[in-house]
Structure 1
Amino acid sequence: MSAPTDDLGPAAVLASPVRRRLLDALSHATATRHDPTDPVGLTAADLAEHVGLHVTTVRFHLDQLVAAGLVEASFHRSGSAGRPRKLYAPVQGSLAEVDVAGEADALRLLSGLLAGVLADSSGGVAPTPLETGRRWALEHVQADPAARPASTPGQWLSKVGRMLDVLHEWGYTPEMSTSDGGRTARLVLKDCPFLALAVDNPAVVCGIHRGLITGSMEQFGEPDTEIGLEPFVGPTTCVAHVSTRTPFRDKTSATATKETA
């Protein structure tokens, strides 16, 4: 697995399109402030409404921007009552120190690696986009040799959570909901880092994503995972449905096991 995002420099942190949008929103708010006596910055809730993401997701990305020295946080109290507001603002001069050409280096490198794999003909047959994404996951996602297929919704969803961490590394900020008694996770994927490629070649990008999820779940002991993708349900939004085909242990057998233990 690669290093956590908070160990990376400003250029790598800004490889995420979500973090670039947050920084753009903060910079715009600072530049268009009408009253110079007003506190500088926006709250996480303000930014969540601006970019259309859950406030918890926005706070996660703001923490990365603060750790990279691109954003600073401060507390301001309005009047004498109530809790102070936590405001985020761009660090003065920080953007000038970021190599704009290098902001997307991580994504360009990854795109180059994927293109190289697709162009590589093993035995005269180039791997499919699905196999390309799966191969990346098998090579980069740490496997759990002792992992067995989940027998409860909690076990299954914990593995889906680990897979979400992999998607975070690729620059995604998935929003998850569950259905079918916890057997299916619905992932809303916004601001694809391969958006331009996806518009022209959705089958390629969706295939890579399907392989990435498939390979990651295999590494976590879930080889029997079913994945469905809905590309462009919105201008920059896709939806993935990740389900397990492995039966969960029913409550009757679980109770019987406890009684005989």
Structure 2
Amino acid sequence: MNQEAVPHEEHVAGIAALNEPARRALYLHIVKQGGDVTRDQAAQALGMARSVAAFHLEKLVEEGLLEAHHKRLTGRRGPGAGRPSKLYRRSRRQFRVSLPPRSYELAAQLFARGLQANGSAPAIAAINDVAQDFGEGIGSEARQIAGPNPEAEHLLDATEVLLNAYGFEPHRDANGDVRLRNCPFRALAVEYRDLVCGMNLSIMQGVLDGLETSGVEAVLDPPPDMCCVVFRQTKPAPERDTSSARVAEKVKA
């Protein structure tokens, strides 16, 4: 069981670093990008001086909220290729603060360990049923927020707001799929992947049930460092050619 043993004070210091408005804005911007961001890109996006952005970005790295690495963006090597750029992305480290201290994650890990060791199919099915009901509640709430006779786009916007509130960080990619950039259950999913991902899929299938929409499915497609579920548009089945001429032609063949 990988229970992260980090002093409580370090969790507090990391979160306290976000109390500074410019630092918090930089952190949220980088999280929203979902990947590597340079100092210049961050400074330009937030309209601040590069030196100011660099100072705050380094503080975020120091507190463990961001990770940094160097990469040459030109694609060239050798003399004249230019210096590598420093890139920033959200840290994989998890911060938790509870006063007085609580350990709900530890309790969840013990529950998950018991379920996995017991291998009780009825118990796991019951968890997935409850998860699907929970997701259906999210979908129903999104439908209410979107208003009467909502367009698909309004339904999707409302759903993204709610999923974001639960920590999934939905994002539409270039293909129109909605990917969930964050797994709120990551600490459990690392050790109990099948159990947690199955529950997560049930939640998202429930969301679609609550939305009462068609043309979208929730499927397992786990990319690195993201949630395992993606909302994907379903492809319509090809229309059958029932013309008499076409049928007769096929019979002759």
What TM-score, normalized to structure 1? Answer: 0.44
Q: Looking at secondary structure, tell me which structure has more strand per residue.
A: 1
Larger radius of gyration: 2
Q: Which has the higher contact order (CA 8 A, sep 6+)?
A: 1
